[in-house]
Amino acid sequence: MAQAKTEKKQQIPVVIDGKDITVEEGTTVLEAARMIGVHIPTLCHHDDLCAHTLKQGKALDKKGKKAGDETYKDLTLDHATTGAAATSGNCRMCIVEVEGQRTLQASCIMPIDKPLKIRTTSAAIRHARRNVLELMMSEHFGDCTACLRNGNCELQKLCAEYGVREDWFGRPVEPLYDMPDERNIIVRDMNKCIMCRRCIKTCALYQGVYALTPDEKGEHSGISTFMDKEMMEAWCINCGQCVNRCPTGALTERDDTREVWDAIEDPDKIVVIQTAPAPRAAIGESFGCEPGTPLTFQLNTALRRCGFDKVFDTTFSADLTIMEEGTELIKRLYAVLVNGESADALPQFTSCSPGWIKFIEHFHPEYLPKLSSAKSPQQMMGALVKTYLAEKNGWDPDKIVSVSLMPCTAKKFEADREEMDSSGFRDIDYALTTREVARMIKQAGLDLPNLEKEEFDHPFGIPSGAGIIFAATGGVMEAALRTVLEIVTGDDVENLFENANITPVRGFEGARVIELPVEKVGPVPDILKHLVPDFEWLKGARLKVGVAHGTWNATRVIEDIKAGGPFSECHFIEFMACPGGCLGGGGQPIPTSREIRSARARAVYGEDMAYELRKSHENEDVLRVYREFLTDGPCGHRSHELLHTHYHSRK
């Protein structure tokens, strides 16, 4: 049967500032200008949010591929990268002159459908752009020096470039809107909003949450939540993706740095901090480094100089998470495949992304029993710091202040959850974003990239490559497979995948399913003998796992499960709330884009390869904790008490 020919788009010649270029029909003027290195300013366009096209997710496309000797299936869901025209071209900063047209045109939404001659700079354009900025500033209330985005504000930068130094249209002397409640995880200040609507597009079309919406029209227009509720009361998942795309300080994270400084300066407090791998691959961007510059060990030095008493590595508790979550998976498989219990427990969903947890609680609560009961690495570390470490060092847990450096604004919400206190103390007292810690380091007068390197503190300081790759989408799954496959088969995972790199689960595709045959089994290791007698029941099985990142893709996966599609056949699925995984988290340095996330991913996988230890079950720090403290092993009574929680038991 002859296949239908794909219709080729017409090639159209365009002249931009005297430069000739040929582009596909439908390319915007802004895109064409960027192709030849011509800069056009914009405040509403964002590379992650294509302004002029509307793509819907394609149906699941099943493709057989080869990865060494392993066959797997790649199910790709296209991301909703877009928006409708009603939310595009709002700022008017990207205006250009088009020969033959009377008025200036917004280049971000003007498709090229015929030969054009375009000018991107002229007296008329310059004056118009400056007028736009002056009008924006006429409604912009607040002291720029006190704003969290001071020095990294797109509006501030353009005002400086276009010489907006006088208030020709006046400035508000009082706030036009109510001042924000700074108890919110995501702080929304409409007094700084320029109505670009990036946040609406991000929340709706990028994440599929729809927590933000346009409000009223004309001079009364604004951006609001449903019934104008506070962000803490709205159906917001605290992922912070809106914050990462806001051009001003209208959206920020709750700033906890003052409280942390107070704790550091209190001589009666023992202040410890753990650092996650994703911020370590990104924090350099706040100090002028290229994206993907890892500063793991310079960061240790900076944090000690800031006054933290101990600096621990979250890869330790990531490895601990793999031990607990991987063991839980084996238990669920045994219950279903051997004991004949209900298959409703499968597929097991990962539980280390708090934005994903809040998403499933809001939108798909019927699937809460599928969540792993394991806490996230942040919370596991916090629980052990105030129990195991306190006992080991003779510290009063009440005097310990446990801080985390995380790429994620939702980690603040997770730390605040009422059930995160199984030790009798809060697991985590303060969760700081990458941006907050960068500010603290600058306040301390430290030049992070040029500091000497220092190691982590023990007993939570052995770095593991498996823990490092938690930062990238597919990383939790790869770390779990490195351990589960090796424990079950009794064979080195390097014999299955070169250098233990399980590449089928890597990449930025929206979602995918991978099949891994279990062709042989080994003996049950001592640490798991309390759970299963042998692995013979897994011999010949095909382990099916899935990976999805971004909650828009999570929705597609849930719908596929409901429809009995390929994801319903999975045994284990990794979900991350943020595009790209933690390295694209809402607390990471601004700006972000696909290229920046890719650079951070390269840093993460490069650091993984640099470590001698690359499997969670070989981390001696983790094994020591099981020998000395969690003596009944993974998923034992004590570990369940401290390291697990049951989200589905909450109303």
Other Cβ atoms within 10 Å of 212 Cβ, number: 24
Tell me, letter by letter, the H, E, C secondary structure of 304-320: HHHCCCEEEEHHHHHHH
Q: Catalytic residue among 201, 310, 411, 615, which?
A: 411
388: its two tokens: 């195991």
Q: How far apart are CA 103 and CA 70, in angstroms?
A: 59
Catalytic one of 352, 570, 578, 635: 352
Task: For residue 372, indicate whether it is catalytic.
Answer: yes
Whether the CB-CB separation of 648 and 373 falls below 8 Å is answered with no
Cα(340)–Cα(336) distance, integer angstroms: 5
Catalytic residue among 154, 253, 325, 574: 325
Is 289 known to be catalytic? no
Number of residues written out for the chain: 651
User: Which residue among 139, 154, 253, 414 is the active-site one?
Assistant: 414
User: How many whole angstroms separate alpha carbon 197 and alpha carbon 212?
Assistant: 9
The active-site residue out of 88, 351, 372, 376 is: 372
Q: Which runs of consecutive H residues, i.e. helices, occur in 417-550?
A: 434-443, 465-468, 475-489
Q: Is 352 a catalytic residue?
A: yes
A 10 A CB-CB count for 573 gives: 24
Give catalytic status of residue 324 as yes or no.
no
Query: Strands 19-24 and 70-76: what pairing?
Result: unpaired
Catalytic, 498? Answer no
Q: Could you say which of 161, 290, 366, 419 is catalytic?
A: 419
Pick the catalytic residue: 139, 154, 328, 607? 328
Does residue 582 have an active-site annotation?
yes
CB 421 within 8 Å of CB 428:
no
> What single string gives the DSSP state of each residue in 330-395?
HHHHHHHHTS---GGG-SEEP---HHHHHHHHHH-GGGGGGB--BPPHHHHHHHHIIIIIHHHHT-
Residue 400's closest CA among 409, 392, 411, 412? 392
The one catalytic residue in 50, 193, 582, 635 is 582
Q: Determine whether 134 is an active site residue.
A: no
**348-349 and 251-253 strand pairing:** unpaired
Identify whether 436 is a catalytic site residue.
no
Q: Which residues are catalytic?
A: 325, 328, 352, 372, 411, 414, 419, 582
